[in-house]
Amino acid sequence: MQSQPPFTALAAVYDAIMADVEYDHWADFVLTYARDGGLEPRLALDLACGTGGFTRELMAAGLRVHGLDGSAEMLRVARERLGPGVTLSVGDLRTVELGETFDLVTCVFDSLNNLLTPGDLGAALSRARAHLRPGGLLACDLNTRLGVRELWEGGAVEGLAHLPDGREVHYHWSHQYDVEADLGVVQAFCRVQDAEGTWEEFLEVHRERGYDPTDLEPLLREANFARWEIVEYPDYAPPSLDTPRVWVFAWAGEA
């Protein structure tokens, strides 16, 4: 069994494994914050949109959405899932240039943690800022350093999921923390039943770097955001030292 690049083989089974992710609640959390801040977004850019789980919720809320992801395989699933009412592009968060601006830019489910250096994260934040209209809002979440070190209790998650056609997916994902590199490493192993009932296996290795509020604030400043707030989900409370994941809401200045 050979290791596959991240988010390639996983695309075909991702939605089955992640069926319990509360994208609808996350969308309500983001849109409530935006509206309480005086923004009624109509046009959104969903970065690292993957198979479109969060994108779909923004569309359901009445927004016109452009989704972008680095994985063509994940976007292939998103196109099937979302239909013709969305624009999807393959692109790199650090260098993307779409030639238009948006009311709202989002990047959820710790996608930014896949950027393994502060320089890469800063580049992605700068590109997000460049795609916001004056007064627009960036909403994103990131695992903190603690969240990456202690990702799962017991260091693993495993289970059985079912694809829409009834085929089974057995998965065992293990997590280790590489102290020297300061990275979390997830080995995502899956066994997938094919149409004939035999089993195919694949492994993807994913790496994440944790970012604390003290890491994020200088990067947001350098990216030229006018103001920002870093909070916990779901109550918008200030994060504490033992917060595993934070949400960032960063505003572009008015023209």
Omega cis (within 30) before 244: no
Judge contact between 90 and 70, C-beta under 8 A.
yes
The model carries a pTM of 0.97
Structural domains of the chain, ranges and CATH numbers in brackets: 3-145+211-251 (3.40.50.150), 148-208 (2.20.25)
- 83-126 tens-digit pLDDT: 987 899 999 999 999 999 999 999 999 999 999 999 999 999 99
Which backbone phi and psi does 194 adopt, to 5 degrees?
-90, 180
Token pair recorded at residue 34 = 């935006």
Judge contact between 13 and 190, C-beta under 8 A.
yes
- Classify strands 43-47 and 227-231 as parallel, antiparallel or unpaired: unpaired
The pLDDT value given to residue 1: 64
Q: How many residues does the chain have?
A: 255
The residue written with tokens 């452009």 in the block is 66
Average pLDDT over residues 36-54: 98
Average pLDDT over residues 14-40: 98
